[in-house]
Structure formats: structure tokens, C-alpha cells
Chains A and B, each alone.
Chain A
Amino acid sequence: MDSLGVLLVAPMNAYLEQELDRRCRLFRLWESPADRRDDYLRAHASSIRAVVPYAPQGVDAAMIDALPSLEIVSSFSVGIDRVDLDACRRRGVRVTNTPDVLTDDVADLAVGLAIAALRKIPQADRYVRAGKWKSKGDFTLTTRFSGKRVGILGLGRIGLAVAKRAEAFDCPISYHSRSEKPFPKYKFYPNVVDLAANCDVLVVACSLNPETRHIVNRKVIDALGPEGVLINIARGAHVDEPELISALLEKRLGGAGLDVFEDEPFAPEQLFELDNVVLVPHVGSDTEETCRAMADLFSGKRVGIIGLGRIGLAVAKRVEAFDCPVNYYQRTKQDHPGYTYYPSVVELAASSDVLVVACPLNEHTRHIVNREVMEALGPRGVLINIGRGPHVDEAAMVAALADGRLGGAGLDVFEDEPNVPEALLGMDNVVLVPHVGSATHETRTAMADLVLGNLEAHVAGKPLLTQVV
């Protein structure tokens, strides 16, 4: 990337600037006086192939026109509403944003938990609040975090974000994942036990699927050993919790920082008295900023509803609060001028980002969401089913999700309940909730709220919230 000329519009972030400077040929626009910037752009126009805009200012057509070599606008933000997308399209300039808004929070917490667990920060806090510093003297000695060998299970977005942070503490990074990734500075272990044996802090950051369930078992815990610390910010079921508890009680494991548990909201009470663990209530991504960002991502999405009965209307009312335009399909047009009517489900799907099934099941509506509908919804579309399992051709849906022809799904119902297609369990673009099995209006309204909560999470790319089976 050395030769890539990048124009940075404003000093937004020290790390970004430092890394751009290291990896590219960086042009700092703000360093030239405001009245000389046009000259600056002209002087470097042939070298600048990328622009990193300042989100509140964006990139306008004039700047795009002034840069004939421009290939990409890479915004340091989720929102790209100030980038002139039409001008970019005309010129064939690509535009990217930073949509994974949850990654940072979870990675921040992972490193925060590692420091808190090694340095016993909550324990020290309790000690001081209890007045013990004065009466009993200094609290116990703790271990340094900087320089510790950090092992990461799963080098996806979150794993990489943890690695980046830990590197700034001079921690050597190693990882385990299904296959080796193109990061030569991180050491790959094809085997979890070997990873655990060669690190001081093991961070679980992989997705949950049948292969990774209980991936942290007794062998892994023993390999991590009495000086080792386990950090879990992924899912409780990644860890064999009874084994973890006995290892901590028997001091075969040094400590743990846990955000997730097998049976939430029940964290194992045996851990409550231990002072080598830090326990937080699944707050990995629970920051105000991220919730706002997720709302921003969801807001404005076009929602298509199949069946504008009571439940359909309850959904419509709620999504309107997110400024989502509402479309619907019904056999006949309804008297709801605020909502746009489509006479066919395929047309509805083609005009929607999110498709919600909320109609009764009958001979006409069985498999109403078939392959053709899902194709129309497309690879960025999300299917929500709070109707009945047979409304959806489940086999076609699983195939579409697996192939990426459908973006994601939030499912409350299934064709063959309580059996959920095995293939769905491993997908991180699917949210599954148990079918509560009640057809009352109140319950369905509550379910609509629940699905909306999940939907909101899903659109932001949040991993599985609640898992069936």
C-alpha cells in the first residue's frame, strides 16, 4: 500500500493517521491554510487515489472533480450521508464506511476485562470502599498485563480488534481459527490446546456453532494453567462452565473475566466469592453510542409486511418510530394511506430491506415466501418470520442464507418445531427466538417487540442473541 496516495481531510484519529502515514503516502489537507487548499489539491491531484473524509463534511462533487485519479472514498464513520454518492457513482469511485459498530465495544471490554482481572480492579475498588486500605494496609500484589502472551480464539472482526489493542500493550498475539489467516505477525495454532498452552491470556472471540460449543473444555483450561486467565466476551456456551468453575475453585486456572454465561442471567454463584474473577452481565456492546449507532443503521430501512392485520399493524406502528417507510402486501388494499400497498409479494420484497411475515397460515399463504421472494429481497435483505413456520419455504431459505443470496433472518417460528434446521445454528446473520406458542394478541405484540429488538441487533451485524435448542 506504500504507493497509495491518501488524502486525509482532518486529524480525526491519531491511530488512523499514524497507520496511514506508515502504510501509505499520506496527504494532510488541514495542514495547508484554508485559502490554499485548492492549490494543494491541484498540486497533488495526480497522486491522490483515495480520500478519507471528515464525516461531518463528507466529500462533495467539487472535490471529486478536482481529483482525477480518485478511486475510493473510505469514510471513517458509519454514516456516509455527506458523501456525494451520485458523483462517486458517475466517476466509478468506490465508497466504504465502517459498519461494524459493535466490534469496538466488545473488543474494548475484552481488553478492559483482561486488565481488570489481572490487576484485580473491582476487588481493589471493594477493598477501598470497605475502608480496608486504612485498617489493613495495601491490597494484594497483582500481575502485569503489558507483554503478556495473548491467545485469541477466532480471528474475526472482534478477534482482530482485540489483537490490535493488545499489540499496543506489547503483547505477543497468537490465535486459533478454522484456517490460518493472512496475518503473519500473529502466530497460528491449528489446535486450541496448543494455543492455550502457549498464552497467558486466552480470549474467546469466535462465533458459536456446533464445533465451537464447549471449545474451552477441561483440557484447554488445564493447558492455560494456574497462571492463565480466560476472557470470554463471545457466548457462554463456548465454555464448559462446570469445568471452568472447578478449575477456578481448585486454582488450576489463574483467573477469568466473563461477560457471558451458559444460563444467563444466572452467573454461577460459586464464582461470587472468588477474587480472581471479574463478572459483568453481558454488556459487551451495551453502550449508549452503539445503541444509537444501531438505531441509525436500522432507521430508514424499508419494511415490507405480509399481512396488515393486528400483528402487522403493531409491527408497522413500531417501525415507524424508527423512520422506516412501511410497505405491505394483502390480498386487497387496506385503508392505511401512510403505508404503500403492493399487489404481489415479489414486488413487495423487491421494494423492501426487511420483510416481515405476519399473516395467518392457510392454503394461499403456505410457502408464500418462496425462493423467488427471497431472491427479490436479495443479499442485503432480511426476512423476519413471526407468523408460522410453513409460511416460508425453509429449505429454500437455508440455502439462500448459506449462499449469501439472502442477507439474514430473524425467526420465531419453524416448519418442524421444535426442530430448527441445524445449518441455521452456525450462522451469525440469523437471530432465532423460541416460538412462545401463543396466538393471543398480547403475546404476539410482545413478540413483535422482541423480534424488533432482535432485528435491530441483527441489522447492525450483532451476533446471535438468543439461541434455540
Chain B
Amino acid sequence: MAPPATQDGSSSKPIVLLADPFIPEFEQELAPSYRLLPAADADEAAAASARALLTVDLPAVTAAQIDALPALELVVASSAGVDHINLGACRRRGIAVTNAQNAFSADAADYAVGLLVAVLRRVAAADAYVRRGAWAAAAGDYPLASKVSGKRVGIVGLGSIGGLVARRLAAFGCVIAYNSRSPKASAPYKFYPSVRELAAESDVLVLSCALTEETRRMVGREVMEALGKGGVLVNVGRGGLVDEAELVRCLREGVLGGAGLDVYENEPEVPPELWGMDNVVLSDHRAVITPESIQGVVDVVKANLDAFFSGKPLVSQVQL
């Protein structure tokens, strides 16, 4: 739904402030209907009248920024998690927040499975082994890996991503259990009320929950010890869910068997200690970076903006 056309053309298109620099895919879809303005470049009049703010690449949206925009009614996030936005400030001001809904779920779930298989079956290390000519030179077998099928997989956060991870890994013959704020009546998997208990009963722990004050650093040494020396941690949620310094220590000391990490506490910083470990698979927060996901999220963002400016219900409002 396009906003109502006005007589004086483009200059009266509704303003949408951008919390980050232009992202071409968004500009192409949104520019015909909205005046996209980087927040940093907005003049006083624009800042005073802007009703919507768009965030794409997880910039921190602080209380100060929110307070500097007196007319702000909506923050549109193009991510599944909204931990980069000061939700307390939004709540106080009555500002609505929307997220990417399910646009990323399939890719995030695929990537979690890809990382899990890559760690257990040593895919990345084996690929490096072949490429450096070691296979031909060694004239022997590559070390045995660990089986995927039949592994007990604990999923932290059985939302839309966690649910898809569960469904995919169930088809691999994995035994699925989960932890979340409360048991899901519809889930045919065993529920554990704490992450530590879940870790103790799992071979692999997959993090696919939102980062909140309750979940920050929920995976500390205790959880990693419960997961154990044969255990594997897969994180496609947020770096802040894990005590990263402790993770590095646990991997180095053999307390934890391996890890597949797409997210880190201080991106793009990745602890250099991990670079030399062949029981970890690392990537650059790219689980959801596919053309399919980007198109999906552009659609969701546009649908939210169109709904907002035409007074209709938002399509993916986050409960604050």
C-alpha cells in the first residue's frame, strides 16, 4: 500500500530516517514512496518531524537518539533480534518497534545446521586439508569425525528459527530438546527449564534465542562444562549470549569439544585464539545474508512502513 500522493511531489513523501548508511536493496524498493534520509544528515526540521526510523545493519539505537526525535512513533528493524535498539526508551515514549518477522528464519536455520555438520564432520578443516595437498601427501586417512545422525541437540529458543532448526535436525535422526521461557504446547520435543540442564542432556547446543537482559551471557563456564568435552556449541543468535572469553578458555582447555560461530560479542572482532583451532568453524555474521532473505526483509520493512503511514496495523510489531 503506497502512502497517499500529494500535489507537491517527492518533497512531501513521508520522511524515513535511516540509522545507518544507504543499503541499495532498501533504497530501490523504498525510495519511490519515502524520503530516505540518513539520520546523521537530517536537519532540525526533518528531525523534528520524522515519525519513522529504519535500522538495517544493527547500528545501536540509543535513548539519546530516540529522545532527539520528538515526533518518532516507529522504529523499523530489518533484523530478527532488536537488541541493538534501546527498547526501554521506546516503551517509555510509546514508540512501536517492528522486526524482520520470519524473513530470515529459513536461512538462519539452514546455517545453524550447516555449522553443526561442518563442526561435527570437520568439513571446513577437511576442505583446508585437501586444498593444502595434505591428503595426497599423507597417503593415509583423515582423522575420524563425529556422527551427526542420532546426536542429542538442545535448542535454546524455540521461536521461528529454533523451530526450523528442530525440524531439519529431526530429519537427520537427531534427538531434539529445548529450553525457552516457557514450554511450547505444540512442540513434540522435551523441554528443559534451564539452559544448564539442557546442556547436560545434549551433545550439541544451538543458540537461536533473542538477546535480552535475561539471556545475556547465558552460556557461561557452567553451561559449557555441562555440555562437556565432546559437546559442540553452535551460535547463530547473538554473540552476547555467550561469555566469549570463557568460551575461548573452554575450547583451549578441552572443556568444550568444538564450536560453530556466526556471531561474536564485539563484531567484527573475532578472538584470534580461535583462528588456529581446527575444532571450530567461524563465519562473519552471515547466516541470513542471501538474496532471498534480503528480498524477504525488504518486503517486510516496506509492508510495515506502508501500514504505518496509512494507519493500518503493523505486520511484525515486537511486544515491548
Contact = CB atoms under 8 A, between A and B. Distances in A.
Interface stretch (A63-71, A125-133, A246-254, A343-351): A125-133
A177 B135 CA distance: 32
Given A113-B123, A116-B114, A134 B269 contact: yes
Given A168-B171, A289-B147, A145 B110 contact: yes
Interface in B159-189: 166-168, 170-176, 188-189
Interface string A282-310: 01001111110000000000000000000
Contact of A283 (B121, B270, B289): B121
Given A169-B110, A280-B130, A15 B117 contact: no
Interface stretch (A88-96, A201-209, A264-272, A408-416): A264-272
B162 to A, nearest CB: 13
A404 interface: no
Given A280-B123, A287-B121, A146 B107 contact: yes
Contacts, number: 210
Contacts of B293: 144
Interface stretch (B11-19, B211-219, B275-283): B275-283
Nearest to B284: A133
Contacts of B147: 104-105, 108, 287-290
Nearest to B106: A146
A279 B284 contact: no
Interface string B146-161: 1111100000000000
Interface residues of B, number: 66
B142 interface: yes
B307 interface: no
B127 interface: yes
Contact of A279 (B118, B127, B167, B267): B127
A181 interface: no
Interface in A108-151: 108-109, 111-113, 115-116, 119, 121-122, 124-129, 131, 133-134, 137-139, 141-147
Report the interface size class on chain A. Answer: 35 or more
B123 A122 contact: yes
A265 B135 contact: yes
Contacts of B150: 13, 104, 289
A121 B136 contact: no
Contact of B123 (A17, A116, A138): A116
A163 B145 CA distance: 23
B114 A266 contact: no
B117 A122 contact: no
B289 A108 contact: no
Given A121-B283, A142-B289, A128 B270 contact: yes
Contact of B114 (A13, A112, A168, A286): A112
A278 interface: yes
A18 interface: yes
B64 interface: no
B301 to A, nearest CB: 18
B263 to A, nearest CB: 12
Nearest to A166: B171
A324 B291 CA distance: 57
9 closest Cβ contacts across the A-B interface? A112-B117, A168-B171, A104-B149, A115-B114, A124-B283, A146-B106, A289-B147, A287-B147, A280-B126
Given A105-B149, A109-B117, A121-B115, 14 more contacts: A15-B170, A115-B113, A125-B281, A139-B286, A144-B292, A145-B110, A164-B171, A165-B172, A279-B130, A283-B145, A286-B145, A287-B147, A288-B145, A291-B144
